[in-house]
Chain A
Amino acid sequence: MTLFIEQCLNGLQFGLLLFLLAAGLTLVFGIMDLVNLAHGSLYMIGAYFAATFAVWTGNFVLGAVLALAATLVVGMAVEVIAMRRLYGRDHLDHVLGTYGLILFFDELVRVIWGPEGLSLSLPSWLNTSVQILPGVNYSAYRLAIIAVTMVVAGFLYVLVMRTRIGMLIRAGASNREMVGALGVNIKLLYTLVFGLGAALAGLAGLMQAPILTVQIGMGENILILAFVITVIGGIGSIRGALVAAIFVGFVDTLGRAFFPDLLRLMLSKDAASTAAPALSSMLIYLLMAIVLVVKPEGLFSTGQK
């Protein structure tokens, strides 16, 4: 039971983290109609920055804040230098161009930080566990991640639904020319939106850094999960991204934790242990396939694309 609660919380934490990535992806796609494969690279860069700045400053939180700011800057620079030239072009152009950026960033990281991964250790006040229920302890750091992502999700909701910028973002998604005609600086708006997406990816990366090894290619695996979430949730929908991300987080985490045992009940022990790793990693894709059969445009599609 304890294990189950713990795994549920892990699933929630992972799901919320995925939401940060998927939200950025879906915002950039919904507004600029841009498919950004290099989104995962920004996640990786956030993690590398965090690992570096935390050591430099000797302070985990300060390092994280600096890393976040740095990823934002990198994101905006990428938008100004490269992405801007891809707007309005074919999706194939987006795929190729941003794929080129992945190669570039992976190699750049190799040049700067070397091929070995980094690790980031937590300060002692986060590296403990907290009693959340009688007899159930849970990692303080993971709880912190849950809290931070929930705050960010709330912030995004308010930003998109309640503010002037959010209104522009939503208007931009449906009518580019109109926003332009209103005298809003579209270029700046796009740069800001892309920067926001980058910062969200960076935040996800830097928060994952103490849990995983910081390494080249870390962004690519998680990017595909973010794609799965976007497909399930419906492109352009922040709400869809949130629901789908938590769902995928749960299914993936609980699937990996309990699916092998479940399989063992049905198959022989040998067959189960052979099939389990392959099958449990398939679960979320099966989920996606089911959604595609039932609702090809995603569960919360905004219906405009």
Chain B
Amino acid sequence: MSEPKNNPMLQVSHLAKRFEGIVATDDLVLNVEAGELHAVIGPNGAGKTTLIAQLSGQLAPDSGHIVFAGQDITQLPMYRRSALGLARSFQITSLFLDLSVLDNVALAVQAHAGHSFRFWRDARSEPQLREPARALLARVGLGARADQPASLLSHGEHRQLELAMALAGQPCMLLLDEPMAGLGPEESARMVEMLRALKRDLTILLVEHDMEAVFALADRITVLVYGRVVATGVPEDIRANAQVREAYLGEQEAGHV
């Protein structure tokens, strides 16, 4: 296991979570460096989504600590974490389908702009909301579709929109839960490019099944099996790790790695 080097953004220590006797997270230790793209992989049921849920505050861990940017956030609710700069995307796309693409992002911008008990001024003509929203859409490659209803976008574009909304709070770290799921090869490639561009400015924790994307993007990789960390290291080490091959990559070796 590699030690944190200089500047840890997220430190997870001895995290544990059980569901009715089933161990979902087991004494999990994880360090994410500032500025790195850290991928978490593992077979189905390894506890990846449970981990994301605990990191984002959707689930409370049974024990252990989560330290984000030097602050213990283990007990903070979801919206407080998001205010500190820890944003997440959802595995199942969850958007405002009957609003326009721009409205979706503008709402996410609005969520980070203080309370919304403002009753009179037209929110759709407020530059403080619309301009950042347009910029975010341009950043994820949806600039041209800003004024269409979100329901008209393709699945891949929904993912891009989802990403734009996660970026709206100007987070310093992103938790991405399977952003490639359900995307076609072309859309996947586009998403990989986008994440590559984002990782210059952001720390990213990526949970993903698509091994090609993971090995193309990740600075370091953590392998989970049954809620436990089996290995952490740079992609070459993970590829070479016998324990990982046995536990996880073995089944897919021929195809993906």
Chains A and B touch each other in the complex, with CB atoms below 8 Å apart: no
Q: Which residues of A contact B (CB under 8 A)?
A: none
Question: Contact residues of B with A, CB < 8 Å?
Answer: none
